[in-house]
Structure 1
Amino acid sequence: MAEDGAVTVYGGSAITDAKKNPFSIKAGLAQMLRGGAIVEVSSVEQAKIAEAAGACSIMVSEPSRPGIKRMPDPSLVKSVKRAVSVPVMSRVRVGHFVEAQILESIGLDYIDESEVLGLADEYNFINKHNFRFPFVCGCRNLGEALRRIREGAAMIRIQGDLLNSGNIVETVKNVRSLMGDIRILNNMDEDEVFTFAKKIAAPYDLVAQTKQMGRLPVVQFAAGGVVTPADAALMMQLGCDGVFVGSEVFECSDPYKKVRGIVQAVRHYNDPHVLVESSCGLEDAMAGINLSDDRIEQFGQSGV
């Protein structure tokens, strides 16, 4: 286990073939992205900008279009993979193991089983232990995170806004919820852990491991609404290991500068001087971040 990290291997019955697809290796590969920004792109040009700006990985997605969202065209993924040297990941629909098989066969570095896309299976997630490559899965709370890890997720994405609106409030709420549950767990007596595991519907061994480590057993990134360096630094200071940056970051006059600022903020999230420099000159960074009147009224009524 890394000194300041989260790579541990939980015990064995859930792993389909531990010799062929060792979870410890997948978790170690995910650890390599720690402290970085993963940037979503929909073209080779955007991928090159993200790499030049310092993204630790590229998330390939289809250009926005009406209808059900599915995995991206494999030819786009291949083109991006040839164009950049950083690790490349892409999304598949929840439960759609054939989409995952297709992306694995073209040599992706990571696969994201994403609720951002349309659902393929309402009740069953992919058995991620059957795949060679690490999987990323989303969550909104501790129980959901630990269930995804039991299924084989080597990285957890604490998910907020799914609409690319630039609204970070949902992400902050879910990150604080997960971190708060871990703090509660850390202060529990050992006898209380069984009841807590049942309450959050999570495997007891992973709950106990989380209590022992004081954090999730795998790396945890934040996603949704991260569009400024300040957003990224906020997620890091709340306890995340990195951030996902949506494709809306390219909807400005200088996407390189914006991505670079976010990357610097993730790396130096506790240094106010770097944060000032990273945030300067991004006057259009807040473009598109407008809540509807209904949402504002809702927040006012809930006391947010």
Structure 2
Amino acid sequence: MSTPDEKAKDKSANFKKKLTFMRGIEGGIVTVVHTVEQAITAERNGARAVIVIGNTATQAMGLGNAEIPRAADPRMVKRIMDHVMLPTFARVSIGHNMEARVMQHSWADGIDENEALAATSDRNIDYHALIIPAIAGVSNLQEALEMIKKGAAALRNKLSDESADRGMASEDTGTIKQAVVTMQGIKEEIKTIGAMSPDERKAHIEGWDVKEKDLERVLEKKRLMVPFFADGGVYHPMDVAMLMSTGYTGAIASVQLFQARNPEKRMRSLVMAAKHHDRPDIIASITEDHGNNGEVV
């Protein structure tokens, strides 16, 4: 039987492997898909990874709420992995450990525990119990550090919606406000806590379930220690450029991009925007003709 120290070492080693895997996806676009054809389009046009979903909140509402958004069919996850070489993540419900285990059994490369699906618990999935990495949603520094302690190898901003518990938090709306507000808030928290005395800092984080060494690393680097992706209605190149410039290390492109008149060109424009986010001249050129003037059809 393993000793507590040996278990801690194993947990740390597994986390490092997951983090190394996620580092390979940083700097680009992760695309949400729900068909094989969409995954192929994403791969051919520069996506770093795909996240497989079932129906979206908008689709569910079109069904009169008869079917709330749920995780993708494991068979679809397998089919997509048979057709593309990209890292393939499966979106699962908050707290649904069985969905996570099923997707791991289906050979998904990772999971995205997401409030866009119907929540099943107030507690998150046990990330350390998984072999594959998990992406977790956060809205502030405390949540970010707590998710890292729980074993999340990557983070994204939470989708903000009052109906989130029912699986209606939607990435379908074309706004990046929540992503921008989340990043600005976390950067401000890091700055504020970093300026505190040790006693003030101790009092400030009382009640936080975080590792002190993780907080120290964040304050030293002035950024989060794991990949942090922008999420929520991302399908315009200027939005991608702004989000990357704000401090995100990648962006999760909405499945809405496949409703553009030319999704291939739209996908390429997002990839180019992530790569050249600090070049307004290049972004201007990309945006002039990127698959139909920012609209979906």
| TM-score when normalising by structure 2 | 0.86
Cα distance in structure 2, aligned partners of 1:283 and 1:59: 22
- 1:228 is the counterpart of 2:236: yes
- 1:159 is the counterpart of 2:151: no
**What is the correspondence of 1:129-148 to structure 2 with a 5 Å cutoff?**
129-148=128-147
Deviations 1:255-290 (A, max 9, x none): 11111101111011112232122211137343269x
Cα distance, 1:218–1:20 mapped onto 2, change above 3 Å: closer
Question: What are structure 2's unaligned runs of at least 5 residues?
Answer: 61-66, 161-168
Question: What are structure 1's unaligned runs of at least 5 residues?
Answer: 1-11, 290-304
Tell me if structure 2 keeps the 8 A contact 1:227–1:285: no
Cα distance in structure 1, aligned partners of 2:12 and 2:222: 30
Tell me if structure 2 keeps the 8 A contact 1:142–1:181: yes
Residue in 2 aligned with 1:58? Answer: 50
Residue in 2 aligned with 1:73? Answer: 73
Tell me if structure 2 keeps the 8 A contact 1:90–1:112: yes
**What is the correspondence of 1:87-102 to structure 2 with a 5 Å cutoff?**
87-102=87-102
Tell me if structure 1 keeps the 8 A contact 2:264–2:291: no
Tell me if structure 2 keeps the 8 A contact 1:41–1:47: yes
Deviations 1:11-39 (A, max 9, x none): x98x7672696211111111111101000
Q: How many pairs align? A: 277
Residue 156 of structure 1 aligns to a residue whose secondary structure is strand
Tell me if structure 2 keeps the 8 A contact 1:21–1:130: no
Q: Sequence identity of aligned pairs in percent?
A: 28
Tell me if structure 1 keeps the 8 A contact 2:261–2:296: no
Residue 270 of structure 2 aligns to a residue whose secondary structure is helix
Cα distance in structure 1, aligned partners of 2:127 and 2:293: 37
**What is the correspondence of 1:12-27 to structure 2 with a 5 Å cutoff?**
18=10, 22-27=14-19
Residue 244 of structure 1 aligns to a residue whose secondary structure is strand
Cα distance, 1:126–1:203 mapped onto 2, change above 3 Å: same
Tell me if structure 1 keeps the 8 A contact 2:28–2:48: yes
| TM-score when normalising by structure 1 | 0.84
Give me the CA root mean square deviation.
2.3
- 1:150 is the counterpart of 2:149: yes
Deviations 1:8-65 (A, max 9, x none): xxxx98x767269621111111111110100001101111111111000011111334
Give 1:125 shift. 1.1
Give 1:207 shift. 2.0
Cα distance, 1:17–1:125 mapped onto 2, change above 3 Å: farther
